[in-house]
Amino acid sequence: MASSPKNKDFRSNSLDPGLGFSWWELRGWLGELDALVVGGGLVGMTAALHMKTQRPKGRIVIIDRQPLGGGGSTRNAGFACFGSPSELAEDILTLGEARTAELVAMRWRGLQELRHSWGDEALGYQASGSVELFTNSELQRQVEALLPRLNELLTPVLGESPFHFASQGSLPGIQKGAGLVTSPCEGLLDTAKTIQTMRRALVERDIPFLPGLPMTSLESGDRGWRIGTPSGVLESRQVLLATNALAAQWLDLDVQPVDNHVLVSAPLPELTLTHTVHHDRGYVYARRVEDRLLIGGGRQWGLDARGVVEALTAWAQTHLHAGFTPSHHWVGTLGVGQERWPIVDSPARGLHVGVRMGGMGVAIGSLVGRQLAELALGE
């Protein structure tokens, strides 16, 4: 006699073995979750680690839609930055002086927390200093007029006066720029080392990280939240949404995904650049990576992908190194909105969100991750 499933909605009895998690998977690490972190970037990993430190017995899992388990956090340029002068001038227009200073303070605190948590060696951190290179005399004039006020606002935050004019030819590796403003406060880190350090900590602290598993639905359920994935439904008392650029798929939030291109040159043995380089409100950025030059951004030019690559190449050749030839190119996604202030909120019981790093999440991401965890822990 042919048998048929008695209850077609009873997934563990399904005839399709592709649907539903196994008893072992649920029993071992996916069932009875205290917290499900959606998004395994800097924010999601920091939040999960902080929760686990505070509640060692809590059952926490991270899922990420990407097979490599990373968004901006594995594809960024590694600037430990808090805002270039022209970027901060723009922030003052949208946020006002006091909130701009507070935003810089949050980035600075985030960077200190990151360095304190992992140590500079594990992050590949170097205190490089930065330079903003101007080619537009109007923008330069505006920033020069604002600089004394910016220094006054940010000296208490950073512990020293952050911005200084520099003369042409005074900085190694800068070929041509109409004006230069330097800062000793900025640093660089090695993105690969940083991510690997954090992922090792997830393993050590028994936090499963499941890349290639997207959240496809989110609804409240008996045990808190029901999260659909292509492999089955997860249930968790709390959900921490750390999906940055893609958060508006789930909640009514002002955050949009924006592509950002990065190029790395072939080796340039005579490269002398030491500082990180910013240009045009942070839209163009460059640094040294070993004996190569990295340059990225260019979205303000409004060009297609090929046009951005050509324009970034020409910019690097003119201002940094005539021999710049791209040998590697990738695209990552930023999460941006009308302003650069991050969103950290609890839109519903058991649902917490920490997103919109404004294209500068390396420094602020640790702080936002901890704040996200604290929202969940404090509920």
Ligand X SMILES: Cc1cc2nc3c(=O)[nH]c(=O)nc-3n(C[C@H](O)[C@H](O)[C@H](O)COP(=O)(O)OP(=O)(O)OC[C@H]3O[C@@H](n4cnc5c(N)ncnc54)[C@H](O)[C@@H]3O)c2cc1C
Q: Which parts of this chain interact with ligand X (CB under 6 A)?
A: 38-44, 63-66, 70-73, 75-79, 81, 214-215, 242-246, 260, 262, 296, 332-334, 357, 359-363, 365
Q: Count CB neighbours of 301 within 10 A.
A: 15
- Report in angstroms how near the CB of residue 9 gets to ligand X at its nearest: 24
Burial zone of 206 (CB within 10 Å; 0-12 exposed, 13-18 middle, 19+ buried): exposed
- Report in angstroms how near the CB of residue 325 gets to ligand X at its nearest: 20
- Report in angstroms how near the CB of residue 145 gets to ligand X at its nearest: 27
Instruction: Pick between residue 111 and residue 268 the one whose CB is nearest to ligand X.
Output: 111
Instruction: Pick between residue 142 and residue 256 the one whose CB is nearest to ligand X.
Output: 256
CA separation for the pair 224, 226 (Å, rounded) = 7
- Report in angstroms how near the CB of residue 169 gets to ligand X at its nearest: 26
CA separation for the pair 320, 298 (Å, rounded) = 16
- Report in angstroms how near the CB of residue 108 gets to ligand X at its nearest: 12
Instruction: Pick between residue 6 and residue 196 the one whose CB is nearest to ligand X.
Output: 196
Instruction: Pick between residue 76 and residue 140 the one whose CB is nearest to ligand X.
Output: 76
Instruction: Pick between residue 278 and residue 321 the one whose CB is nearest to ligand X.
Output: 278
The identity of residue 261, as a single letter, is H
Element (H, E) at 6: none
DSSP for 112-143 reads HHHHHHH-HHHHT-B---EEEEE--HHHHHHH
- Report in angstroms how near the CB of residue 167 gets to ligand X at its nearest: 27
> Cβ(309)–Cβ(289) under 8 Å?
no
Residue (of 82, 95, 167) closest to 130 by Cα position: 82
Q: Among positive and negative, which fits the CA dihedral 85, 91, 96, 98? A: negative
Q: Count CB neighbours of 311 within 10 A.
A: 15
DSSP state of 355: E
- Report in angstroms how near the CB of residue 111 gets to ligand X at its nearest: 9
Instruction: Pick between residue 214 and residue 323 the one whose CB is nearest to ligand X.
Output: 214
Instruction: Pick between residue 142 and residue 299 the one whose CB is nearest to ligand X.
Output: 299
Element (H, E) at 271: none
